[in-house]
Amino acid sequence: MISERSFEVLRAIVEDYVSTREPVGSKALIERHGFEVSSATIRNDMSILEDEGLIHAPHTSAGRVPTDSGYRLFVDRLNELKQLSAAERLAIETLLTGSVDLDEILGRSVRMLSQLTNQVAMIQYPTLGKARVRNFELVPVADTRILMVLVSDNGRIQQHVIELGEFVDLSFLAQVRGLINEAIAGAYLNEVAARLNGLEGKFPAANRALVSVLVATLQEQVDANRQDKLVLAGTANLARSEGDFGGDISPLLDAIEEQVVLLRLISEMEADQDNVSLLIGSENTIAGLSNASVLVSGYGNSQEPLAKVGVLGPTRMDYSNNIAAVRAIARYLSKSLGA
């Protein structure tokens, strides 16, 4: 087990390295932090830390840099988080007053988060999980096309345009709409498929094909909420900390554009509310993200998170501050979307 002071040395190294981007040496440490021992002692401690694989020297005559495990230990032992400034808290407060639109709330929040952290911020759209069907609408948008709208009781709206290939009578549409609404109103979304079973049977044979298309699309829609979307902000921050990514940020930009990769990554990370979890450097297995850390928290109501919110940046980031920021935004998202 490493000693208390050795850990303090690690902490100091992480902090200095994060703020200066320069490998930190024993002498600089005792100057900038109040260690009551000599540099030789610090060197001994550093030697221990290096044996433990927590820090590492880029070359013989340079200072030390934290390894992924070093950051990990640092974070795990992080007992007090940096507090957000009053100004920042105020910004978040005012941020969320007055917006009712889901897209708007997410959009503003994600931008705020990227500002607070100076990293790429991301928010996953809320899953419909435990939501119930509130309303189902069919709106004609062209002779042979209709817009399907599914509103759930957490205020989320899903829509899809369907090409029917033939002209459809309006009153017939209204009838279908009524029956479907009747069948699924109030149902949890994962019950929708079951409730729609056999619905075609209620229509004359001539219309069944049509109804089938509608039902199938609706079921698809409900399923589709599993592979949800991300809102992102602050991509430019990547370019600014390009040096920390070994000079090539294109795999990161790719991952960001792909979304799928990121989504899978963050959905595999478990995260309750008020509990930020993170992957540091090579803890994630995605090629090209080995110099990156991902930091997510769940948000939603208190029993069960709706989705995740997080931050992507270089391993060399201010974890303390960023964890606090993610947590704060998650809390506010929960407050305004948590039903």
Could you give the strand order of the β-sheet that contains 145-152, starting from the edge strand earlier in sequence? 133-142, 145-152, 157-163
Helical pair 4-20 and 68-76, crossing angle rounded to 10 deg: 110
First to last CA, the chain: 46
Give the one entry of DNA, a copy of itself, none that residue 304 binds, where binding means its C-beta sits below a cut-off of 5 to 8 angstroms depending on kind. Answer: none
**Residue 134 binds a copy of itself, judged by CB under 8 A:** yes
Nearest 5°: CA angle at 274, between 270 and 276?
A: 45
**Residue 145 binds a copy of itself, judged by CB under 8 A:** yes
- Decide whether 24 or 146 has the Cβ nearer to a copy of itself: 146
Give the one entry of DNA, a copy of itself, none that residue 25 binds, where binding means its C-beta sits below a cut-off of 5 to 8 angstroms depending on kind. Answer: DNA
Q: For residue 1, give both structure tokens.
A: 């087990």
**Residue 335 binds a copy of itself, judged by CB under 8 A:** no
Q: For residue 228, give both structure tokens.
A: 């949800």
Q: Which residues lie closer than 8 Å to 209 by C-beta, 6 or more apart?
A: none
Give the one entry of DNA, a copy of itself, none that residue 159 binds, where binding means its C-beta sits below a cut-off of 5 to 8 angstroms depending on kind. Answer: a copy of itself
DSSP, collapsed to helix, strand or coil, labels residue 314 as strand
Give the one entry of a copy of itself, DNA, none that residue 5 binds, where binding means its C-beta sits below a cut-off of 5 to 8 angstroms depending on kind. Answer: DNA
Which residues within the stretch 163-182 sit at the binding site for a copy of itself (CB under 8 A)?
Answer: 163
**Residue 102 binds a copy of itself, judged by CB under 8 A:** yes
- From candidates 85, 159, 227, 285, binder to a copy of itself by CB under 8 A: 159
- Decide whether 57 or 173 has the Cβ nearer to DNA: 57
- Decide whether 25 or 314 has the Cβ nearer to DNA: 25
Cβ atoms of 271 and 297 closer than 8 Å: yes
Q: Contact region for a copy of itself (CB under 8 A) — 16-24, 40-48, 134-142, 291-299?
A: 134-142
- Decide whether 49 or 262 has the Cβ nearer to DNA: 49
- From candidates 155, 175, 179, 219, binder to a copy of itself by CB under 8 A: 155
Handedness of CA 11, 16, 18, 23 (dihedral sign): negative
**Residue 224 binds a copy of itself, judged by CB under 8 A:** no
Give the span between the Cα atoms of 84 and 66, in whole angstroms. 25
Q: Beta strands 305-314 and 120-124: pairing type?
A: antiparallel
Q: Beta strands 157-163 and 292-300: pairing type?
A: unpaired
**Residue 236 binds a copy of itself, judged by CB under 8 A:** yes
Smallest separation, CB 319 to DNA (Å): 22
- The CA–CA distances, whole Å, from 127 to 71, 213, 267, 307 equal 32, 24, 11, 6
- The backbone region for 288, taken as left when phi is positive above 0, alpha when psi lies in -120 to 50, beta otherwise, is left
Residues in contact with DNA by CB under 7 A are 5, 22-28, 36-41, 43-44, 46-47, 50, 57-64
For binding to a copy of itself (CB under 8 A), which residues are involved? 100-102, 134-135, 137, 139-142, 145, 147, 149, 151, 153, 155, 157, 159-163, 233-236, 238-240, 248-250, 253-254, 256-257
